[in-house]
Amino acid sequence: MTTDLRFPVGRFTYECPYSAEEREDLIRQIEKAPEELRAAYQALPRGGLDTPYRPGGWTARQVIHHVPESHMNSYLRFKFAMTEQEPTIKPYDEAVWAVQPDVASTPPEVSLDLLDALHRRWVAFLRTLKEDDWKRTFRHPQMGVVTLDRTLGLYAWHGRHHVAHLRQIGAPRTT
C-alpha cells in the first residue's frame, strides 16, 4: 500500500514477460476480483456509495460501474488479439463513461453481477492460452503495440487498484 490515494496499491509496472506461474497467479487475481469488489462494496459505510474515494476522485458508485466496463473492453481486446493479426482497438474515455446517466440510476448489484459473469468467462478463456499466445498483440492508438502478457498484469492490477479505492472510503485518512 502507498500513501498516494490515487494509487493505493502503487502504479502498474511491467518489466518483462511473466513466467507461467506468475501468469497463473495473475489469472487467480482476476478470478477473485469480482468477489473482492463485492465485499468492498458491502463494507462501505452509510452514504459511502456516493462518496469519492479521494478528494476529486470518483464515487464508489462510479468505480463499481467502471470496473466491468473496463474489463469488458479488456476481454474483447484479448479476443481480438487472438483472432486477428495485431488489431487496432478502440479506446474509450473512461471519465465520460463514468458520468453517463445510467451510472447514477443502475443499482451497483447489476454491475457486480456483470463483473462476476464476465470474469468467469474471461478466466475460462485465459486458461486456454498457450505460452506463445501471451506474445500476441493489439495496437492501442495512444499506447502503441501491447502484448497480452502485459495486459494480463495490467488488469490483475486494475482490479486490486479499484478494490483498494473502495476500501479507502470510510477508512481513516493519514494525510
Average pLDDT value for residue range 124-132: 98
For residue 34, what are the contacts with CB-CB under 8 A and spacing of at least 6? 112, 115, 116, 119
Q: Is 52 helix (H, G, I), strand (E, B) or coil?
A: strand
Element (H, E) at 140: strand 137-140
- pLDDT tens sequence across 48-87: 999 999 999 999 999 999 999 999 999 999 999 999 999 9
- pLDDT tens sequence across 78-122: 999 999 999 999 999 999 999 999 999 999 999 999 999 999 999
* pTM assigned to the model: 0.94
Q: Which CATH class is domain 20-168?
A: mainly alpha
- pLDDT tens sequence across 142-175: 999 999 999 999 999 999 999 999 999 977 655 4
Tell me the three cell numbers of residue 160.
486490486
Locate the domains of the chain by residue range: 20-168
- pLDDT tens sequence across 5-43: 999 999 999 999 999 999 999 999 999 999 999 999 999
- pLDDT tens sequence across 129-145: 999 999 999 999 999 99
Q: Is 88 helix (H, G, I), strand (E, B) or coil?
A: strand
Q: How many angstroms separate the CA atoms of 35 and 40, rounded?
A: 9
